[in-house]
Amino acid sequence: MTTLVLASVLRQSAPSLHQKEYDGFRGSLLEFLNTVSAEGGPSFRGRIFDGDRLRRYLNVFVDGTDVRYLSGLATPITPTSRVDLIPAVAGG
């Protein structure tokens, strides 16, 4: 299963998507997020995308790695991937 994990600020606009599991998904991160935001509706999509780019303050992790260190929206998503959508944080 491909699992989607949402930070609470994102959950508010699409509670049913949090920890949702997608059976047999295979494709790019862009395709995955398109699928997800088709379910979440335009306001959810607007929190993830700025035009056709990921929002500046949204961090997307695939299996724990920030996708900016992978292939961005082209990062492959498999049936066992875990995708976390989390806002950026302050320093430590």
Partner 1 sequence: MGGSTVEPVVRESVGSAPGNLAIASLARTLRCVECGHETRLEVHQSCPACLGPLAVTYDLSTLRGSVPSDRLSGRPRSIGRFAELLPPLSLPWSARLDLETTPLRPAPRLAEWLGVETVWLKDDTVLPTGSFKDRPASVAVAFAAAQGHRAVGCASTGNLAAATARAAVRASLPCFVFVPAGLPDSKLDPVRQFGGQIVEVEGPYDVANRVANLAAEAAGIGVVNITLRPYYTEGSKTLALETFEALGWNPPDAIALPLGSGALLAATERAISQLREIGWIPSGPGPALLGSQPDGCAPIADAFDAGSDEIVPVEHPRTIAESLAIGDPGSGYEALRAIRASRGAADSPTSEEVIAAIRALARTEGIWVEPAAGTVIATLRRLREAGTVRRQDRVVAFLTGAGWKISHAVALSRVGSAPIHLDPVHPDLSQLHVGPRPEALGGAE
Ligand X SMILES: Cc1ncc(COP(=O)(O)O)c(C=O)c1O
Which residues contact partner 1 (rule: CB under 8 A)? 5, 7-10, 12, 46-47, 50, 55-59, 61, 64, 66, 68-69, 84, 86-92
Residue nearest to ligand X (CB): 91
Contact status: 92 vs ligand X (CB under 6 A): yes
Maximum CA extent, the chain: 38
For 43, half-sphere exposure in the C-beta direction (CA atoms, 13 angstrom radius) is 7
- What, of ligand X, partner 1, none, does residue 55 touch, CB below 5 to 8 Å by kind? partner 1
Surface-to-core class of residue 51, CB atoms within 10 Å of its CB (0-12 exposed, 13-18 middle, 19+ buried): exposed
**Under the rule (CB under 6 A), what is the footprint of ligand X?**
91-92
